[in-house]
Structure 1
Amino acid sequence: MLTSLLIGLGMLFGCQPPSVTGQTYAVVVGIADYQALSYSTGDLRFADRDARQVVAFLQSKSGGSVPPSHIRLLTNRQATQATIQQALTLFQQAGTNDRIILYFSGHGLPDSFVPYDARPGNPARMLTYSAIKAAFRESNALTKLCIADACLSGGITRQQASRRTLTKSVRDGSNVAMLLASRSTQYAVEDRRLAGGAFTYFLLKGLSGQGDLDGNGIVTIRELHQYVSPLVRQRTRGKQTPVFYGRFSDNLPLAYL
């Protein structure tokens, strides 16, 4: 099924106390049923369900009550390369005090995420990391988050241009982070008993309160990592290690409970 590119989860995910201003704009993608695949040849089971659960969280009170007009949900056949690229233009509506979020659940490659209409051997039909970074650069939001529950998603941190791209897109006071399900050499696990991706399952559990490790009513990005990472490693028997990558304060609030 993406530690320095995009963040503001609870602030990210729109969770914010009354004193915090700003809106949340989110593009949420989940692809379980691929055009060129069947379940026996690689289709997933729960990626679309995970995406819907992320949207449900965003629209909940604890998720910030993000209005539907600020969310683009694309699942299965809706999530072509063209429609995802078009949806990413939503981030251009964000102002300086706003947050933008990209969530992707589906197949991943070392240099891209795989849209619904991808074709084997045709790299032009992929959702490349460079295209995602460009969409973030073009947004004025100071808080940017990319969350990926995809195999090999840690590969986005290995792009030669990623450090330069990040530097160009970061301004004083900004928070830019990637929350990635796995390292660049690892698969991301779907868990039948959890009825979802292991990473997304524990991510949402953490944001919904279990990640508030000090009990102060706020889930920070550091707390979320401390909660999610060991549980994912344990659940997958060490086969999957989440990566939190970016430029942000350890105390960046992700959820206000």
Structure 2
Amino acid sequence: MVTLLLLCLNLLTSWKATDSPNDTYAVVVGISDYQSLTSRTGDLRFADRDARQIVTFLQSKAGGSVPSAHIRLLINRQATSATIKQSLSLFEKAKPGDRVIFYFSGHGLPSSFVPYDIRPENQQLLVTYQDIKTAFRQSKAATKLCIADACLSGGMAAQKSTQRNLSQTMSQAGSKETNVALLLASRSTQSAVEASRLSGGAFTHYLLRGLNGQADLNRDRIVTIRELHQYVGVRVKQATRGRQTPIFYGRFSDNLGLAYL
């Protein structure tokens, strides 16, 4: 009897770790065409396309069939500093058991993401990493994901505020049962590579391939965050010849399910 009870408890624990979220709320940003840049001075090629593909995934069965009303897609000139920051209030709609996702593809700086309307004389327009963490703290969601395909994005996990302060920020984002994960394209000193042969950012390309089933290493039809990291990390480093190393950082269960095939 005791053995049977322990078995049941283990099954319940395992199911909870991989069970799909109730609802998902996502803010998805992709900026290729910047207001103050040109193709010669720094515009990107595929960031807007990558963002659209992320939305396509979220609306698929594997991504949770997320309704359009739960997604804010901001492309190029739509992705101003004010609009991005206002859109983060969407996360306040999430209930316990829900999931919130912030995805950004575009230019990055050591402590921030660069919006469409950035001007050299007005650094206040930057969307700081702290802006994202504050939005996470104010959300009741059980799972909070920040996915960044941007240069220097690893700085989000290694800021001057020290790892201890970052851990405190993670702890404030929710209870012990809350999963808070940063899925970052590169280390704090690395660029995030766009590849013509992939028609997108290397990180987002392999992230989506992994989520759509390639990272389901044990073939249980659930892509966990651990499986995704194992899949994406190796392939991005191979594709960029070691110039780019993705980082998955935060407080989360290795069995956290990110796609349900």
Q: Normalising by structure 2, report the TM-score.
A: 0.90
2:185 is matched by which residue type in structure 1? A
Cα shift at 1:122 = 2.5
Query: What is the rounded CA distance, in whole Å, between the counterparts of 2:29 and 2:107 in structure 1?
Result: 11
2:56 is matched by which residue type in structure 1? A
Report the secondary structure of 1:40's partner residue.
coil
**CA separation of 1:210 and 1:20: change in aligned 2, threshold 3 A:** closer
Cα shift at 1:40 = 0.2
Quote the sequence identity (%). 66
| Contact map agreement 2:63 2:258 (CA 8 A) in 1 | no
1:106-117 map, 5 Å: 106-117=106-117
Q: Residue 196 of structure 2 corresponds to which residue in structure 1?
A: 192
Report the secondary structure of 1:101's partner residue.
strand
Cα shift at 1:165 = 1.2
1:177 is matched by which residue type in structure 2? A
What CA deviation, in whole Å up to 9, does each residue of 1:57-112 have, x standing for no partner? Answer: 11112211100000000000000000001110000000011000000000000010
Query: What is the rounded CA distance, in whole Å, between the counterparts of 2:61 and 2:20 in structure 1?
Result: 15
Cα shift at 1:125 = 1.0
Higher relative contact order (CA 8 A, sep 6+): 1
| Contact map agreement 2:151 2:190 (CA 8 A) in 1 | yes
Q: Residue 50 of structure 1 corresponds to which residue in structure 2?
A: 50
Query: What is the rounded CA distance, in whole Å, between the counterparts of 1:55 and 1:21 in structure 2?
Result: 17
Q: Residue 105 of structure 1 corresponds to which residue in structure 2?
A: 105
Q: Residue 30 of structure 1 corresponds to which residue in structure 2?
A: 30
| Contact map agreement 2:24 2:66 (CA 8 A) in 1 | yes
Larger radius of gyration: 2
Q: Residue 202 of structure 1 corresponds to which residue in structure 2?
A: 206
Report the secondary structure of 1:141's partner residue.
coil
**Unmatched 5+ residue regions in structure 2?**
1-16
1:167 equivalenced with 2:171 (yes/no):
yes
Report the secondary structure of 1:244's partner residue.
strand
Query: What is the rounded CA distance, in whole Å, between the counterparts of 2:174 and 2:234 in structure 1?
Result: 29
1:232 equivalenced with 2:233 (yes/no):
no
What is the root-mean-square deviation in Å for CA atoms of aligned residues?
1.4
Q: Residue 154 of structure 2 corresponds to which residue in structure 1?
A: 154
1:220 equivalenced with 2:224 (yes/no):
yes
Query: What is the rounded CA distance, in whole Å, between the counterparts of 2:103 and 2:36 in structure 1?
Result: 22
Cα shift at 1:20 = 4.5
| Contact map agreement 2:29 2:48 (CA 8 A) in 1 | yes
Structure with greater proportional helix content? 2
1:174-185 map, 5 Å: 174-185=178-189
**Unmatched 5+ residue regions in structure 1?**
1-15
1:75 equivalenced with 2:75 (yes/no):
yes
Segment of structure 1 superposing worse, 57-66 or 142-151: 57-66
